[in-house]
Amino acid sequence: MDMELEEYLRPPEIAMVPYPAKMITLATGAKLIVRQAGRDDVPILLEAIKPTLLVARDYYDIVGVRLYAELLGWQRYRVRDEFCLIGQIDGLLVGIVNSRMYSPQLGISFHTLAIERGLRIGAHLFAAKMEHHIEHLGQEEVLITAESPIGFRRWMIEYNLEKRDGQHELGGAAPYALTKELYYANKERLVAGERPVLPELMQVAEKEIIVASEEDILEKIMGVKRRVIQ
């Protein structure tokens, strides 16, 4: 690698405080651990995203392809000021979200990918992402867009986001904004989590990011029946 040239290609970075991990009790009673992923975790996250790349259902393909590229770009220093949060249950990776700081005041929400469905895992991870932007990074607002009807319903409608002029970095639909005021107005209703995470749960989560088999991931995201019909 030509480091002299690399210096020009790598974007500058804004210092970001780390996201403090939390645990969320799901409807099943399981504990979802939400924590920050590092660049070293990206290869395993890409493995989890790969099965989604050709799944048109609910726009998993578009979200998967773009998330794959964004994480790869972050790992190899081609995306500026990005962060990634992951959700794990007993070590198993069940969802990924990413985002970036456009400036110290403005955040840009990128993508939300739920691998386990039907438990609001995507919603919990999205909420964690907003929590990080507003509460920990101290930003004034986050620009959000949606590529799927589920995303539109979850973000724009559940948070009653403010529509904005202009474009989101992802292109596509109009951008909407989660302001600090909107975040705190919705926090009690939509943002879950307890801290600190029980040490034994954190240990399991940090020990290994377990990725389900490709077959399992496809079953989960496509809602294929898991049991043999009698």
Partner 1 sequence: MRPVVVSGVGMIPFERRDEDSLVDMLAMAGLKAMDDAGAGDRPVGAVYVGNMASGLFNHQVSVASALVDRLNLFPAAADRIENGPASGGSAIKNGFLAVASGFYDAVLVVGGEKMREVIGPKATDIVACMTHPQAEYIYGVTLPAMAGMFTHLYMEKYGVTRKHLAHVSIKNQDNGLLNPYAHIQMKITMEGILTHPQAHINNPVVAEPLHLYDCCPVSDGAAAVLLTSLEMANELKRPDVQIVGIGQATDTHTLQERADPTDLKAVTIASQQAFGMAGIQPEDIHVAELHDAFTILEIAESEHAGFFPKGQGAKAVARGETRIGGKLPINPSGGLKARGHPVGATGVAQIVELVWQLRGEAGERQVKDAVNGFSLNFGGFGNNVLAFVLRREA
Binding site for partner 1 (CB under 8 A): 24-30, 57, 118-120, 124, 149, 153, 189-194, 223, 225-230
Give the whole-angstrom CA distance, residue 154 versus residue 137.
Answer: 23
Q: How far apart are CA 81 and CA 205, in angstroms?
A: 24
CA–CA dist 83, 196 (Å, integer): 21
Shortest distance in whole angstroms from residue 192 CB to partner 1: 4
Using alpha carbons only, what angle is made at residue 16 by residues 82 and 131, rounded to the nearest 5 degrees?
80
Q: Minimum distance between the CB of residue 116 and partner 1, rounded to whole angstroms?
A: 10
Which residue, 28 or 105, is less far from partner 1 as judged by CB?
28
- Expressed in percent and rounded to 5, the helix, strand and coil fractions of the chain are 40, 20, 35
Q: How far is the CB of 25 from partner 1 (least distance, A)?
A: 5
Least separation in angstroms between CB 32 and partner 1? 10
The 8-class DSSP code of residue 169 comes to T
Instruction: For partner 1, give the closer residue by CB, 5 or 229.
Output: 229
**Alpha-carbon gap, residue 21 to 165, rounded angstroms:** 34
Of 80 and 187, the one with the shorter C-beta distance to partner 1 is 187
Query: From CA 79, how far away is CA 84, in angstroms rounded?
Result: 12
Pick the closer one to partner 1 by CB: 10 or 189: 189
CA 127 to chain CA mean position, Å: 9
> Based on CB atoms, which residue is closest to partner 1, 107 or 193?
193
Nearest approach, Cβ of 206 to partner 1 (angstroms)? 23
Q: Do residues 81 and 71 lie in contact, with contact meaning Cβ atoms separated by under 8 Å?
A: no
**3-class secondary-structure state, position 108:** strand
Q: Which is nearer to partner 1, 65 or 150 (CB)?
A: 150
Smallest distance from partner 1 to CB 229, Å: 5
Residue 134: DSSP 8-state: I
